[in-house]
Amino acid sequence: MQVTKLAVIQNFSYDSFFYQCILMTTSIQYCINMGAFLDKPKTEKHNAHGAGNGLRYGLSSMQGWRVEMEDAHTAVVGIPHGLEDWSFFAVYDGHAGSRVANYCSTHLLEHITNNEDFRATEKPGSALEPSVENVKSGIRTGFLKIDEYMRNFADLRNGMDRSGSTAVGVMISPEHIYFINCGDSRAVLYRNGQVCFSTQDHKPCNPREKERIQNAGGSVMIQRVNGSLAVSRALGDYDYKCVDGKGPTEQLVSPEPEVCEILRAEEDEFIILACDGIWDVMSNEELCEFVKSRLEVSDDLETVCNWVVDTCLHKGSRDNMSIVLVCFSNAPKVSEEAVKKDAELDKYLESRVEEIMEKSGEEGMPDLAHVIRILTAENIPNLPPGGGLAGKRNIIENVYTRLNPHRDNEGHCLYYSIFTSLRHTVTSVMNFGPKKEGRKEYSLSRSFYLYYQT
């Protein structure tokens, strides 16, 4: 692989980067086309909530910087046909279109529960609960069957639609939690004040996944299947499932999910299902701590989920974002002390932003990025754990907009998104592969490099 340097921007700063990027239109266009970004994020949210079977759930999804919304979700409390005390929740992260994600969100559950493997322990006229092994086998069979079924859709068969989708879900019975994962979306269980379980992402660079890809005649380049697809398991993606002589689970991309069962416990607090637009900017522990702290401030699960996607947007996520939060009876409850501290923090931030704006004086109104930099450098107590200042960005922006209603920072948002995208891409290209002695690590903290592959 040859990597050619296009340009170097020394001593990176937001303003210098912005104006120099104006002159580098081809590089900017390359970035925008590659990442399919808007010039500003779409922050409208889709929400839903519900309750039943001793559970409460809320969800939120946001298109963000992406040109299209390709995420989908499922939330069913009370599975029909004899499993009314069971529930099913899932998040689907589509790519190259939303066709597969949307179909799976509507039909995956029926493909799971209606197949013979899932119902193998039932007897005529009974509502006997399937055994653990039957459930796990039925889930796997359901994934394979829906993948085979969708392959016959005309637009997917003739190549007019080349979309695919990850899928992460939980099936909750009175005794068990079944974690289901296919791709790089993720589910975590928070129990007794800590992360108790997490699904594992299916990435092409994982040894087991890489072995299957290579056995199917493919390769892993830049941590992608054949240098293109960033996940090694998914529904759809039929361009990667056409190797003769190989079964459906032996292809470059496999539709087979990993299924793990865990016994329920009184200490179970909540489960989070989310796409990689969330996990790209928050770790398991950070997100769980953030959600825990927000549940102590509000019992509105939609609001808590909205806080998550807003915080991830402000942390730099440039992808679609979706989260489903499922709370058990032992989930954190609203605390008067936490509510008071949160209100005090909001009030402090409001007054601090007003101070910064007032001190600008004759120099003119500072831009929002300047205000954020000042606040970031300060040791502000009681910020939301896991979220930090990004968890209160909306408070800061509201005050800033009130004091400077004619602000124009959309350009800053655009070039910050471009920088973030290029930084991730370039770092991935230059630092991929095993660490070797003497190999240079590329840092983009002070100088920014644009490269292209030839």
Burial of 110 (0-12, 13-18, 19+ CB in 10 A): middle
Q: What is the pLDDT of residue 128?
A: 61
Q: CB neighbours of 234 closer than 8 A, spacing ≥ 6?
A: 95, 164, 165, 166, 167, 182, 183, 253, 255
With respect to residue 409, please indicate whether it lies within any of the assigned structural domains.
no
Which residue range(s) make up the domain with 420?
3-35+414-453
Q: What is the pLDDT of residue 360?
A: 74
Do residues 247 and 352 share a domain? Answer: no
Do residues 25 and 162 share a domain? Answer: no
Do residues 278 and 303 share a domain? Answer: yes
Do residues 12 and 134 share a domain? Answer: no
CATH number at residue 358: 1.10.10.430
Identity of the amino acid at 311:
T
CATH number at residue 51: 3.60.40.10
Structural domains of the chain, count: 3
Q: For the chain (length 454 residues), average pLDDT per consecutive 10?
A: 37 42 40 66 98 98 97 97 94 97 98 89 58 95 98 92 98 98 99 98 98 98 96 98 97 98 98 98 98 99 99 97 99 98 98 91 80 95 97 96 74 48 46 40 36 30
Nearest in space to 231 (alpha carbons), one of 185, 169, 163: 185
Do residues 213 and 153 share a domain? Answer: yes
DSSP assignments along 16-63, one per residue: HHHHHHHT-HHHHHHHHHHHTEEEEEEEEEEEEEEEETTEEEEEEEEE
Do residues 56 and 25 share a domain? Answer: no
Q: CB neighbours of 403 closer than 8 A, spacing ≥ 6?
A: 353, 354, 357, 365
Q: What is the pLDDT of residue 148?
A: 98
Do residues 128 and 245 share a domain? Answer: yes
Do residues 424 and 369 share a domain? Answer: no
Rounded to the nearest 10 degrees, what angle do helices 25-35 and 410-431 cross at? Answer: 80
Burial of 309 (0-12, 13-18, 19+ CB in 10 A): buried
Q: What is the pLDDT of residue 373?
A: 95
Q: What is the pLDDT of residue 161?
A: 93
Q: What is the pLDDT of residue 314?
A: 97
Do residues 260 and 373 share a domain? Answer: no
